[in-house]
Structure 1
Amino acid sequence: MRQISPVDKVIMIADNALKTLFGGYQVTERANPTESATLKSSIQETIPLTLEEQKNAAGLMRINHCGEVCAQALYQGQAMTARLPEVRDKMAQAAAEENDHLNWCADRLKQLDSSPSFFNPAWYIGSFAIGAIAGAVGDQWSLGFVAETEHQVVRHLDNHLQKLPEADWESRAILTQMREDELQHATTALAAGGADLPVPVKKIMGVMSKVMTSTVYYV
């Protein structure tokens, strides 16, 4: 089997980045959660979103889409520097599953007549660097970083589920499924030996998350 060279790795990293930011990524065969949401909505009285509700839903989904871009970058960065093969495999598998979320959020943004954030490339680069550093520090810390990231994402999703317009069944179905998947990723990371991160690190992650959400909501 041909050994992967440094040049090959650079090409793979660039390919993953381009696919994450501009499309072409591999998704699973899971159905979009909006299919069941549309069915449920059709059973009840259909209430169209007002312009203000549509803008709010789009802003929230833009944040979640950017969050998935960051997740892809984190996992790719960690997979690049992880020391144990099984940890690299877990990072790659998690990234593949997150592609579903990325795809669902992108589709929903189109339905809401909106678009992803212009800041996505910058957030991808920063997240990839953080992931690479976390992987280089050690696998237990890398896995712990994944677990804490997912737990923070779950808290954001809980908040967004409360803020979504009541009539927006489609966005709610997507975020509900995402929440379930993120919890599973966090559990898997901890079970694989992830360490509990120091409180200062968790707080820094929280601050960075707030900066992202406060800007991406609008553009």
Structure 2
Amino acid sequence: MKRWRPGDARPGGVRSMIRVDQAGEYGATRIYAGQLAVMGDRSPLSASIQGMALQEAEHRAYFDALIAERGVRPTLIQPIWDVAGFALGAVTAAIGPEAAMACTAAVETEIDKHYEDQLTELGDDDPELGDAIRRFQAEELEHKEAALAHGAERAPAYPLLAGAIRAGCRLAIEVSKRI
């Protein structure tokens, strides 16, 4: 069986894209909820995290509406992403502010690549979705840059932490495309 590469038609096509993107944005809102539950308002980074969380909520609302409008089935494992996202956010925040930022930087690194692959695959086939993905991708990159500016790379065991989170994101993306 031929392995999928950017530019190839994806099994499930646009429906799969919408499903995985909605799941990802949902997961992002849960990560920030977990971080804020631990950090509260006492951290100097809380305002930045709240701002990123608001943007993720806007992204999620877009994909929630698109799922309803286009009749796409959401991922069946959203309850797992609910708990896993919150736990990831809470644990990284408990380690410290830099670890919370390392989480954001790692997630957004994978999401940037994921969105870039989707844009390559979409081409000009769905201009509305392509425009939304481009806008969201730019905002995700802003989150990554903010996380790096706030000390993500100073987190304890940063390469290991970031690598594990990135691997988890890749797994979540692949699972959410299909299930």
Normalising by structure 2, report the TM-score: 0.84
Query: How far apart are residue 203 of structure 1 and its match?
Result: 2.8
Q: Matches of 1:77 and 1:154 in 2, distance apart? A: 22
Indicate how the Cα distance of structure 1 residues 110 and 55 shifts in structure 2: closer, same or farther if over 3 A, else same: farther
Structure 1 residue aligned with 2:168, among 208, 212, 215?
Answer: 208
Q: Matches of 2:17 and 2:30 in 1, distance apart? A: 20
Indicate how the Cα distance of structure 1 residues 201 and 176 shifts in structure 2: closer, same or farther if over 3 A, else same: same
Q: Is the 8 A contact 1:63 1:216 kept in 2?
A: yes
Alignment size in residue pairs: 168
**Matched residue, 2:56:** 98
**Matched residue, 2:3:** none
* Structure 1 ranges of 4+ moved more than 6 A: none
Q: Matches of 1:53 and 1:133 in 2, distance apart? A: 34
Query: How far apart are residue 106 of structure 1 and its match?
Result: 1.7
The structure that has the greater radius of gyration is 1
1:166-192 Cα shifts (integer Å, max 9, x gaps): 321111111101001101111122223
Query: How far apart are residue 111 of structure 1 and its match?
Result: 3.2
Q: Matches of 1:155 and 1:53 in 2, distance apart? A: 16
Q: Is the 8 A contact 1:108 1:171 kept in 2?
A: no
SS of alignment partner, residue 217 of structure 1: helix
Q: Is the 8 A contact 1:74 1:127 kept in 2?
A: yes
Structure 1 residue aligned with 2:100, among 129, 136, 142?
Answer: 142
User: How high is the sequence identity, in percent, across the aligned residues?
Assistant: 20
1:106-130 Cα shifts (integer Å, max 9, x gaps): 2222333213212112111011111
Indicate how the Cα distance of structure 1 residues 115 and 74 shifts in structure 2: closer, same or farther if over 3 A, else same: same
Q: Is the 8 A contact 1:54 1:112 kept in 2?
A: no
Q: Which runs of 5+ in 1 are unaligned?
A: 1-51
The letter for the 1-side match of 2:122 is L
SS of alignment partner, residue 152 of structure 2: coil
Q: Matches of 2:92 and 2:44 in 1, distance apart? A: 16
Normalising by structure 1, report the TM-score: 0.69
**Matched residue, 1:126:** 84
**Matched residue, 1:178:** 136
**Matched residue, 1:44:** none
Q: Is the 8 A contact 2:93 2:100 kept in 1?
A: yes
